[in-house]
Amino acid sequence: MSKSSGTAIHTIDLIRKKRDRGTLTEDEIRYLVRGAASESTPSEQLAAWLMAAWLNGLERDEIRALTVAMRDSGERFDPRGLGKVAVDKHSTGGVGDKTSFLVAPIAAACGVAVPMISGRALGHTGGTLDKLEAIPGYRTALSLLEFENVLARCGCSIVSQTPALVPADRVLYALRDRTGTVESPGLICASILSKKLAAGLDALVLDVKTGSGAFLRKREDAEYLAALMVATAEAAGTRTVALMTDMSQPLGYAAGNWIELAESVDLLRGKRPEASEDLRELSLTLAGWMIHLGGKAETPETGYARAEAAITDGSALKAFLAMVEAQGGNPSVFDDPEFHQPRATRVVEAWEAGYIATMDTTMLGWAVQRTGAGREKAGEPVDPEAGIHFHARRGALVENGQPLATLYATNEAMLDEPEMLLKKAIVLAETKPEAVPLVSSVLTREKAEVFLAGAQR
């Protein structure tokens, strides 16, 4: 029980209120979040409230209050001492999505601070931290002081969440996971944004995926979440845009841990393999927006040009390698062609001639996970050398016997299930599929408001 605004608050009343489709006040939401963060509210009460929120939905004001209360539920990073505008990017996750390794050093090289708090592999999607830990010595668990020091020296730092950051989300997310209440736009929005905004961001660029490998497969669901996140982050004082981007096939050619880093560093070195063009294009577009919102370019287009120049002049590569070294990693591994060579490889060939008509990218993500590159349970180790190198893209015309992908693992037996999944995930057909744009729309605050006003929820 708490006394707030002169009235006592009881958790049971908050459960009843949401059950009966009422709207919680800011004080009531703060009370609920405090109880979650301090673990003083019994989990059955929190779970009951979460289910009521899942079933009946949350109003915009409730979502904003929940986001802000969760953001403030623990320690926060204050980037003001860096003397730069702090901007980050968040992606809703996909297969082969490695844009963080490009956008963070590119934006840093253009004068923006990028305090990036990232996550681990989850389900069929890979994790930025797991990939970085393929670099010997790289430490992801920095204290906030160490985080600040790396940012001051390199302009960017990619780290894990500290235990004291957003403790309310740790409790609520674990409960949602166990009670079937993850898939709620308001709860997802508050969970993602609270962790991002706890880094004290001035601006945020969201990469919201749609298509067969996306967390939310239906475009209208993904767009609604994007609009909600833009409007909520803006209401919490952070300039935000969302780009709706394609995940109907893996991004770039590599999916795994080390191979994703190797593909990213090749691009930072100015290489332009055809199979990485989508990754390069998306990274430059996202970085262009970050540089623009960070005040270092008049428009996202001039931000794009600055981002491209940071690759050409080597400054982005320099920022990336400096960050690796500052976080204890050995950057010389990027010069060693023998590093993390897989012990078992298998080429999967096309079983007939035809166009690659569809790729079930979620299934491809599970194939990557089954090579050992991902984990089944939280806390399990991942294999740095495992993964899949894709040789053909959606829409390509392939001959019978042409290599579609090479699988990497530590032993032959680990390759059987990924091969089976990969063959199920790829459909070959006689007709060429329609091309899907890489970036289908950009939601600014104004567009997000228009979208939300018209949305039936």
Quick note: the x/- pattern for ligand URA over 146-185, rule CB under 6 A, is ---------------------------x--------x---
205 token code pair: 């660029």
Give the Cα separation of 86 and 108 in Å (integer).
Answer: 10
Residue type, 388: I
- Minimum gap (Å) between residue 189 Cβ and ligand URA: 8
Quick note: the x/- pattern for ligand URA over 402-421, rule CB under 6 A, is --------------------
Contact present, 438 and 246 (Cβ < 8 Å): yes
Q: Which is nearer to ligand URA, 173 or 355 (by Cβ)? A: 173
Q: Which is nearer to ligand URA, 170 or 394 (by Cβ)? A: 170
Q: Which is nearer to ligand URA, 105 or 127 (by Cβ)? A: 127
Contact present, 199 and 104 (Cβ < 8 Å): no
Burial of 2 (0-12, 13-18, 19+ CB in 10 A): middle
Q: Which is nearer to ligand URA, 205 or 310 (by Cβ)? A: 205
Neighbour tally for 83: CB within 10 Å? 8
194 binds ligand URA per the rule CB under 6 A: no
Give the Cα separation of 195 and 38 in Å (integer).
Answer: 17
Of residues 239 through 298, those in contact with ligand URA by CB under 6 A are none
Provide the greatest CA pair distance for the chain: 75
Q: Which is nearer to ligand URA, 176 or 280 (by Cβ)? A: 176
- Minimum gap (Å) between residue 445 Cβ and ligand URA: 22
Find the binder of ligand URA among 188, 282, 364, 405 (CB under 6 A).
188
Give the Cα separation of 153 and 318 in Å (integer).
Answer: 12
- Minimum gap (Å) between residue 62 Cβ and ligand URA: 16
- Minimum gap (Å) between residue 187 Cβ and ligand URA: 6
Find the binder of ligand URA among 63, 87, 142, 192 (CB under 6 A).
192
Residue among 25, 36, 271, 296 at smallest CA distance from 176: 36
Find the binder of ligand URA among 25, 91, 140, 191 (CB under 6 A).
191
- Minimum gap (Å) between residue 355 Cβ and ligand URA: 33
Q: Which is nearer to ligand URA, 155 or 186 (by Cβ)? A: 186
- Minimum gap (Å) between residue 122 Cβ and ligand URA: 7
Q: Which is nearer to ligand URA, 50 or 113 (by Cβ)? A: 50
| Rg value, the chain, Cα | 22
Q: Which is nearer to ligand URA, 187 or 448 (by Cβ)? A: 187
Nearest position to ligand URA, beta carbon = 191
- Minimum gap (Å) between residue 188 Cβ and ligand URA: 4
Q: Which residues are designated catalytic?
A: 90, 169, 176, 191, 195
- Minimum gap (Å) between residue 10 Cβ and ligand URA: 26
Number of residues that bind ligand URA (CB under 6 A): 6
Select the span of 5-13, 102-110, 188-196, 293-301 touching ligand URA (CB under 6 A). Answer: 188-196
Select the span of 36-44, 186-194, 198-206, 403-411 touching ligand URA (CB under 6 A). Answer: 186-194
| Interface ranges with ligand URA (CB under 6 A) | 173, 182, 187-188, 191-192
